[in-house]
């Protein structure tokens, strides 16, 4: 027989078990609700992120194309000499900043000065010779006039000789006619015959003199024409010989000036190889000058990024040298004529059986703001990140 206390305990146990089950059910329901709420929030969060990403892609990302395959470039000047001469002095070194017109190298100018002196002397001599040709033309004109006078005098002598011959011939005939009747002595006939022979000889001499005078006049005319060809339609200043001598003198001056090699623009000296005493020759590089203030950026974009890119669009750039603290602003200038693979020394062999398509990159030239370059100088070859705004 159970005691009242044990009976009460069993009653309490039966009453507690339903209460515990109820509490567990409530806890499970609460946990389930929390999980649903958590998953709902997670789904909403993911949906919000997706919407935000889509909005960012449509409103912002689609208006920008970015690449970190970009590098600083510049039109580097290769400094060479245009004359052959020993190097007398080198005034710059690598990494030195120079201004346009600064002297970089001085060459020995001894040969150049001698060549200039010879050219100036030759010019002076040529000018005197050409002026002499002008004076000779006047003298030849007077000589032609004298030859014409000689020719006229010879013609007159010829006329006289012909008259003398005619008279001597007439006298001879008369005396021959009288000699048959004995009216003329043999001596007179001999004198007449001698006079006729003398007149004939004088006529031949006069004819020769006329021919000689004519030839002398023609020779004088030819000499004058040959002289006039050298000075025709010119002055002593515009004569071809003078112009040629002056050009030689000017070339000698230029060669002398070229013994001093100057910087073609502002920049930084790089790759200096010239030394004092070295013989500089045309085409041999002495050093380079990098125009850092005129640097640009070549950004290598994938071909699939360039459908909306065109010249004039704004570009935001950052340099690995300065990090995100410095931002450069530029403009798209244009596109390269071909991809890097197209200009490679060993081009890709795409016309083969084992072909794999590779997305190509096309260099895009970006001009930088000169003021920003002056504030934060860049060097050729530095890495850049370029972001083009294609919304405009």
In order of 113, 120, 136, 249, the CA distances from 124 in angstroms are: 17, 6, 18, 10
pLDDT for the residue numbered 182 = 64
Considering only 168-177, 257-266, 360-369, which range has the smallest mean pLDDT? 168-177
pLDDT for the residue numbered 356 = 76
User: Pick the residue with more confidence: 391 or 226?
Assistant: 391
Provide the CATH number for the domain formed by 111-254 in this structure. Answer: 1.10.287.620
Place of tokens 């709420």: 37
- Look up residue 377 and give its DSSP letter: -
User: Pick the residue with more confidence: 188 or 287?
Assistant: 287
CATH: 2.40.50.100, 3.10.20.30, 1.20.140.10, 1.10.3720.10. Which one for 77-108+262-289? 2.40.50.100
User: Pick the residue with more confidence: 289 or 209?
Assistant: 289
Considering only 146-155, 308-317, 325-334, which range has the smallest mean pLDDT? 146-155
In this prediction, residues 250-267 reach a mean pLDDT of 95
CA atoms within 13 A on the CB side of 392: 9
**For 205-211, which contacts have Cβ atoms below 8 Å and span 24 or more sequence positions?**
205/161, 206/154, 206/157, 206/158, 206/160, 206/161, 206/162, 207/158, 207/161, 209/154, 209/157, 209/158, 210/151, 210/154, 210/155, 210/157, 210/158
Across the beta sheet with 260-262, the strand order is 260-262, 103-107, 85-90, 279-280
- Cα 261 to Cα 272: distance, rounded to the nearest angstrom: 13
pLDDT for the residue numbered 9 = 45
In this model, does residue 316 exceed pLDDT 80?
A: yes
CATH: 2.40.30.170, 1.10.150.80, 3.40.140.10, 3.40.50.2300. Which one for 63-75+292-389? 2.40.30.170
pLDDT for the residue numbered 63 = 81
Q: Pull the structure tokens for residue 326.
A: 């410095």
Helix and strand totals (H; E) in the chain: 5, 14
Q: pLDDT tens digit string along 194-219?
A: 877 887 888 788 788 878 777 777 77
pLDDT band at 259 (very low <50, low <70, confident <90, very high): very high
pTM above 0.75, yes or no: no
- Look up residue 165 and give its DSSP letter: H
The answer to whether the CB of 221 falls within 8 A of the CB of 142 is: no
pLDDT band at 139 (very low <50, low <70, confident <90, very high): low
User: Pick the residue with more confidence: 372 or 171?
Assistant: 372
pLDDT for the residue numbered 104 = 96
Q: Pull the structure tokens for residue 287.
A: 């050093």
User: In whole numbers, what is the pLDDT of the chain averaged over residues?
Assistant: 82
The answer to whether the CB of 149 falls within 8 A of the CB of 210 is: no
pLDDT for the residue numbered 97 = 94
**DSSP codes, 22-65:** HHHHHHHHHHHHHHHHHHHHHHHHHHHHHHHHHHHHHHTGGGEE
User: Pick the residue with more confidence: 236 or 124?
Assistant: 124
Q: What is the percent of the chain with per-residue pLDDT over 90, rounded to a whole number?
A: 44
**DSSP H/E element including 204:** helix 186-231
In this model, does residue 168 exceed pLDDT 70?
A: yes
pLDDT for the residue numbered 138 = 66
- Look up residue 362 and give its DSSP letter: E
In this model, does residue 172 exceed pLDDT 60?
A: yes
Residues of the chain with CATH 2.40.30.170: 63-75+292-389
User: Pick the residue with more confidence: 222 or 392?
Assistant: 392
The answer to whether the CB of 253 falls within 8 A of the CB of 115 is: no
Residue among 234, 359, 310, 376 at smallest CA distance from 65: 310
Q: pLDDT tens digit string along 8-46?
A: 445 444 454 556 567 666 666 777 777 777 878 888 888
Strand partners, 97: 268
In this model, does residue 365 exceed pLDDT 80?
A: yes
Q: pLDDT tens digit string along 377-390?
A: 999 999 999 999 99
Residues of the chain with CATH 2.40.50.100: 77-108+262-289
In order of 58, 98, 233, 366, the CA distances from 309 in angstroms are: 17, 37, 63, 12
**DSSP codes, 73-104:** E---EEE-BSS-EEEEEE---TT-EE-TT-EE
């Amino acid at each position: 027989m159970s005691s009242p206390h044990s009976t009460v305990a069993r009653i309490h146990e039966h009453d507690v078990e339903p209460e515990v089950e109820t509490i567990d059910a409530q806890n499970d329901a609460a946990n389930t609700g929390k999980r649903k709420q958590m998953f709902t929030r997670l789904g909403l969060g993911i949906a919000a992120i997706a919407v935000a990403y889509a909005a960012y892609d449509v409103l912002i990302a689609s208006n920008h194309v970015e690449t970190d395959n970009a590098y600083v470039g510049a039109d580097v000047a290769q400094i060479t000499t245009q004359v052959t001469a020993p190097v007398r002095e080198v005034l710059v070194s690598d990494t030195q900043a120079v201004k346009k017109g600064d002297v970089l190298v001085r060459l020995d100018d001894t040969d150049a000065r001698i060549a200039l002196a010879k050219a100036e002397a030759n010019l002076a001599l040529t000018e005197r010779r050409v002026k002499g040709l002008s004076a000779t033309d006047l003298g030849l004109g007077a000589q032609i006039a004298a030859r014409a006078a000689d020719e006229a005098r010879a013609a007159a002598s010829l006329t006289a000789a012909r008259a003398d011959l005619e008279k001597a011939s007439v006298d001879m005939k008369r005396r021959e006619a009288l000699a048959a009747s004995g009216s003329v002595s043999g001596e007179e006939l001999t004198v007449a015959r001698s006079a006729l022979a003398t007149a004939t000889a004088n006529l031949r001499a006069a004819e020769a003199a006329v021919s000689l005078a004519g030839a002398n006049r023609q020779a004088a005319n030819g000499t004058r024409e040959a002289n006039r060809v050298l000075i025709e339609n010119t002055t002593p200043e515009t004569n071809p010989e003078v112009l040629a001598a002056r050009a030689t003198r000017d070339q000698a001056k230029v060669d002398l000036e070229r013994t001093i090699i100057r910087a073609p623009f502002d920049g930084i000296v790089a790759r200096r190889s010239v030394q004092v005493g070295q013989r500089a020759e045309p085409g041999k590089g002495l050093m380079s000058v990098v125009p850092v203030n005129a640097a640009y950026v070549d950004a290598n974009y994938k071909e699939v990024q360039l459908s909306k890119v065109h010249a004039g669009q704004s570009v935001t750039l950052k340099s690995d040298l300065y990090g995100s603290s410095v931002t450069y602003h530029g403009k798209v200038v244009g596109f390269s004529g071909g991809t890097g693979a197209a200009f490679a020394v060993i081009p890709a062999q795409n016309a083969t059986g084992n072909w794999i398509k590779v997305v190509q990159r096309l260099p895009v030239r970006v001009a930088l703001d000169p003021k920003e370059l002056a504030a934060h100088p860049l060097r050729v070859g530095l890495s850049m990140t370029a972001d083009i705004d294609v919304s405009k």
